[in-house]
Chain A
Amino acid sequence: GENVEQHPSTLSVQEGDSAVIKCTYSDSASNYFPWYKQELGKRPQLIIDIRSNVGEKKDQRIAVTLNKTAKHFSLHITETQPEDSAVYFCAAPIMEYGNKLVFGAGTILRVKS
């Protein structure tokens, strides 16, 4: 399968609701899992990341959970706001690529007000 799979490809939520985006990775040696937010025509920006020695990390409305056994990690956004609308990418270092970050396909998040 793909080195980093991301789902869903698009996600629409009502303002105030929660959004969850999931990624799975293939390399059991991966130890760093960042999430990037990219607004239209702009550069990706890191919003949160997690290392393999913890299972969850939270920063205000954003949280990331990691299940090393199952090799998947998820981005959780609570109390979504219109400005959360963007494309979100997960990534993981894959040994097959020299431990370089491989990005998921991306999720277009639309927050409807």
Chain B
Amino acid sequence: GAVVSQHPSRVICKSGTSVKIECRSLDFQATTMFWYRQFPKKSLMLMATSNEGSKATYEQGVEKDKFLINHASLTLSTLTVTSAHPEDSSFYICSARGQVTGELFFGEGSRLTVL
């Protein structure tokens, strides 16, 4: 199946700093990628849809200035958590839809800890 790679897998940062997470589709092109946030023992909550060449669309309640999304190419989307605070600590996962079956493939996830 298609492969989606996410980096870094773990990051620890100080409060007030910004953190960038990358999501790459390794063997296919993805005009659309999705970013989710997952709290411990909770479900995947869609944060935003990343669109190649245009602005991301954010779900209700997600601050677009806090979570900056850039989809610069057909294989790369980035999520930047700006001015991170401890409450931003979470597991962030990206996904992309495979071109053949339309199946959703997930990245490995990035665990962010803000001290």
B49 to chain A: which residues have CB within 8 Å?
98, 100
Q: Are B42 and A43 in contact (CB under 8 A)?
A: no
Contact of A49 with B103 in the complex, beta carbons under 8 Å: yes
How many B residues have CB within 8 A of the partner chain?
A: 20
Q: Which of B12-20, B69-77, B81-89, B106-114 contacts A (4 or more CB under 8 A)?
A: B106-114
Interface of A is mostly: strand
Cβ–Cβ contact A89 & B41, under 8 A: no
Q: Contacts of A49 on B, CB cut-off 8 Å?
A: 103
Q: Of the candidates B57, B93, B104, B108, which one forms a contact with A101 in the assembled complex, judged by CB atoms under 8 Å apart?
A: B104
B67 contacts chain A at the CB level, 8 A cutoff: no
A103 within 8 A of B: yes
The answer to whether A34 and B103 have CB atoms under 8 Å apart is: yes
A interface residues (Cβ-Cβ under 8 A, vs B): 32, 34, 41-46, 49, 87, 89, 97-98, 100-106, 108
